[in-house]
């Protein structure tokens, strides 16, 4: 399947706004790949497909994970939205014909990040946050500049904001992976 076919298929699955966001992540990821020297075509594909499982309802997300043998942790059971990332990687593989492990990893970790991310993981994590169709988030102008100038600094900034947002909501929402990612990048800051 070529990228145009993926796009047609995705447009039939996602609501218009979510599809527009996916296109935003697609082209933002390609720009970041150009600046940071990653594979531009992989960035386009991972960006386009990163939210391909987002349209499923919460209960459905849990059911589909069980059906496909994907682990559901306690935090994920309580916050099923988190599952769209790993389920998205599964659908990218099975429904969109993606076999590239770098692309599948970038989709899997796009919500929480992970310690020691690959360059493509970082690009999708960041592009998801900064793409131009997203409603404005705090400090977004500075975060957007950091994305192109110093991507690790940008990741710390995003995670700091996400963690403080989650902490303000309720602490049992926070996935350990999000905290581990934050600690990893703070401790390994250049």
Question: Rounded distance, CA 43 to CA 52, Å?
Answer: 15
* x/- track of binding to Fe ion for residues 112-131 (CB under 5 A): ----------------x---
Backbone angles phi, psi at 73, to 5 degrees: -80, 175
Taking the complex as a whole, the smallest distance from the CB of residue 101 to ligand DGI amounts, in Å, to 20
Segments of 8-63 assigned E as strands: none
Q: Which of 51, 76 has the CB closer to Fe ion?
A: 51
From 39-47, 91-99, 116-124, 168-176, give the range in contact with ligand DGI by CB under 6 A: 168-176
User: Contact between 173 and ligand DGI (CB under 6 A)?
Assistant: yes
Using CB atoms within 10 Å of the CB of residue 138, give its burial: 0 to 12 exposed, 13 to 18 middle, 19+ buried.
exposed
**162 interacts with ligand DGI by CB under 6 A:** yes
Q: Which is nearer to ligand DGI, 78 or 188 (CB)?
A: 78
Among 127, 185, 116, CA closest to 153:
185
Phi-psi region of 14 (alpha: psi -120 to 50; beta: other; left: phi over 0): beta
What share of residues in the chain are helix, strand, coil (percent, to 5)? 70, 0, 30
Residue 76-95 contact track with ligand DGI, rule CB under 6 A, x = bound? ---x--x-------------
Give least dist CB 111 to Fe ion, A: 5
- What residues line the site for ligand DGI (CB under 6 A)? 21, 51, 54, 79, 82, 110-112, 128, 162, 166, 173-175, 178
């Amino acid at each position: 399947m070529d990228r145009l076919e993926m796009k047609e298929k995705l447009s039939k699955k996602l609501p218009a706004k979510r599809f527009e966001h996916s296109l935003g992540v697609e082209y933002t990821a390609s720009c970041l790949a150009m600046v940071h020297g990653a594979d531009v075509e992989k960035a386009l594909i991972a960006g386009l497909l990163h939210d391909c499982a987002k349209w499923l309802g919460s209960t459905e997300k849990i059911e589909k994970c069980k059906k496909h043998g994907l682990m559901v942790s306690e935090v994920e059971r309580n916050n099923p939205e988190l599952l769209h990332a790993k389920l998205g990687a599964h659908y990218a593989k099975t429904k969109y014909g993606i076999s590239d492990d770098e692309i599948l990893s970038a989709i899997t970790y796009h919500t929480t990040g992970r310690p020691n991310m690959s360059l493509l993981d970082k690009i999708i994590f960041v592009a998801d946050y900064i793409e131009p169709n997203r409603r404005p988030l705090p400090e977004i102008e500075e975060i957007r500049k950091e994305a192109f100038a110093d991507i690790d600094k940008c990741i710390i900034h995003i995670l700091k904001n996400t963690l403080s947002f989650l902490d303000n909501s309720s602490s049992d929402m926070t996935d350990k992976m999000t905290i581990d990612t934050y600690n990893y990048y703070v401790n390994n800051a250049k």
